[in-house]
Chains A and B, each alone.
Chain A
């Protein structure tokens, strides 16, 4: 079973605004029946103010598709069309307290249904601008189409290149075989062969010189600052549950934290740490392992 948040489960078991909307004046139908997810979003828009007075959905799809649809309708009701168009798929995922990486496309479908419905209201034609492929990197939710396009656009040659440009493969590294296969395929189209021992592109900085901080690489200081930022962002949510989290130390890719109060010993601690770890990986673009420690055990 998926690791769905309580909010996802709530919106699935008790969907808000399910069904068609009376006197709807905007409809967006998106999704792909072959992939098993499709959504019809209907809006009742006030022609004077462009405020969305009512929204409803009908969804053919899994638990998170139904929950994403339900969350979307809750978010946009009362917004003007222009405000609603600023809603991103991340907003939908955040509203649901996160979605598993394999399920982020459900939130993307929600945003696209909204765009399609607004286009319908305005008499425009909505055009889908993204194509989704097989999910390759589960740590950073990068699919095959994205990797292929990036390899073509930047003439990438190695797995390391792909990781530098897309983050794919930068986490647990178990998808490297899949990335190599995509590289081999794209390079073959250009009449080249994938060479696992090729230098990454552009040529890496020789190891004997100390690398200056570049756009891609963080200095130690920047890195720790970012880690602090992420931890600070999650603290209010934990404090609301009478808990807290403290950053103790950073050792290589291990981030040592101390769970305080209601968080320590809580059955949800594992999930909390998993969530923090995921956010750290996304912020830093590298594999991070969050380790819970007792404060006195460190640095002693």
Chain B
């Protein structure tokens, strides 16, 4: 039985075109792009092409605005730490409660270094209140960092509008767009976004390659110094093969943007409708009308996500969950908690994230498998009776804390 991969927000398969483009850079094209001789020269030109391919997907004005890094997390850290260093008198940061840990953990660590971080809250559907945002924008803020699309629910934030507001207040704006690039149209030259992070392995390029977009003229302080690579803004010998692969992946993503927003979206909607029609006490989390075309996050009430994933895995279906147990922590996903999803549902959230490689047949097989899995676990659940949840379930089963 072949597996059905619906965990594309975690990582994606490398496209065969991408792999083929990369292979020569592990063998005959091994030169250092900085070298003058023919071995290096060709690699240098290949990186130049890749930079233009990334520029084109992002709609950046200049190819010099593209800085290759090792991953999305490095891009995020570089952006925030650069702003703090460039504006040493500004001791505040604005972000949201639902960011990726690459931002949240960095901000928590900066709080220990006496920075003040404003975490913008979200409502039950994961949406921000821009009036709250306006209130905290001030000349004390060094940088605003807000994700373009949420990795768990797919909910989109109005980052272009928020960048304009930051700009009016004289504050730098960064967006973590690792989930958005390749799935939503992006035109950075027409926006006020100063910095943007992307990650190769979320769009069918390999792991270990990322990009920081840096709008021309944005004050910048490198994280890694010690070389002239990337115009001195990110020292370290280029990961040439991965850069070439990312270039091809960006070109493919640009070509498939319409497909993502039509065919993939329809598959996602079919999956959602099929599951909700067959499974009671289940609901979609996040902003259903304003989210990534490939992402579906469903909360299955009264059961736990890791158990769902293990049974899905047994059927060859790969997805992920916001339950505490999948991460080994004591709390369910911070995104679900931020949206005030009750514990009995937050632990049972499952994220299905599609790609252009999924087929209608696969989606139908998932729709056929899910109801039985949920029913099996609910049969074990102390909150579930013979035909549905117990009346007033939280009173019927109120365990002593152990």
Contact = CB atoms under 8 A, between A and B. Distances in A.
A192 interface: no
Interface residues on A, range: 35 or more
B190 interface: no
Contacts of B110: none
Contacts of A38: 382, 397, 399
A31 B399 contact: yes
A13 B314 CA distance: 9
A189 B398 CA distance: 34
Nearest to B328: A102
Interface string B308-342: 00110110000000011110111110000000000
Contacts of A286: none
B343 interface: yes
A205 interface: no
Contact of B402 (A40, A59, A128): A128
Contact of A109 (B313, B381, B394, B402): B402
B344 interface: yes
A63 B311 CA distance: 9
A66 B324 CA distance: 15
Interface string B380-402: 11110000000000100111111
Interface in B169-196: none
A234 B112 CA distance: 46
Interface residues on B, range: 20 to 34
Interface string B210-244: 00000000000000000000000000000000000
A109 B401 CA distance: 10
A259 B303 CA distance: 42
B382 A62 contact: no
Contacts of B324: 35-36
A78 interface: no
A133 B402 CA distance: 11
Given A36-B343, A63-B306, A126 B400 contact: yes
B325 A29 contact: no
B382 A40 contact: yes
Contacts of B402: 30-32, 108-109, 112-113, 116, 128, 130
B307 interface: yes
Contacts of B76: none
A62 B401 contact: no
B379 A63 contact: no
B304 A134 contact: no
Contacts of A61: 304, 307, 325
Contacts of A31: 399, 401-402
A65 B307 CA distance: 9
Contacts of A18: 379-380
Nearest to B342: A33
A15 B380 contact: yes
B375 to A, nearest CB: 13
Nearest to B109: A177
A36 B323 contact: yes
B323 A59 contact: no
A12 interface: yes
A41 to B, nearest CB: 10
A62 B308 CA distance: 8
Contacts of A109: 402
Given A13-B314, A62-B325, A102-B328, A33 B400 contact: no
B302 interface: yes
Contact of A60 (B313, B331, B383, B398): B383
B51 interface: no
Closest 10 interchain pairs by CB? A62-B325, A62-B306, A102-B328, A30-B402, A58-B382, A36-B347, A29-B399, A40-B382, A112-B402, A31-B399
19 contacts: A19-B379, A32-B399, A34-B343, A35-B324, A40-B399, A57-B380, A58-B381, A58-B382, A60-B383, A61-B325, A62-B304, A62-B305, A62-B307, A63-B306, A116-B400, A116-B402, A128-B401, A132-B330, A134-B329
Interface of A: 1, 9, 12-13, 15, 18-19, 29-40, 57-66, 102-103, 108-109, 112-113, 116, 126, 128, 130, 132-135
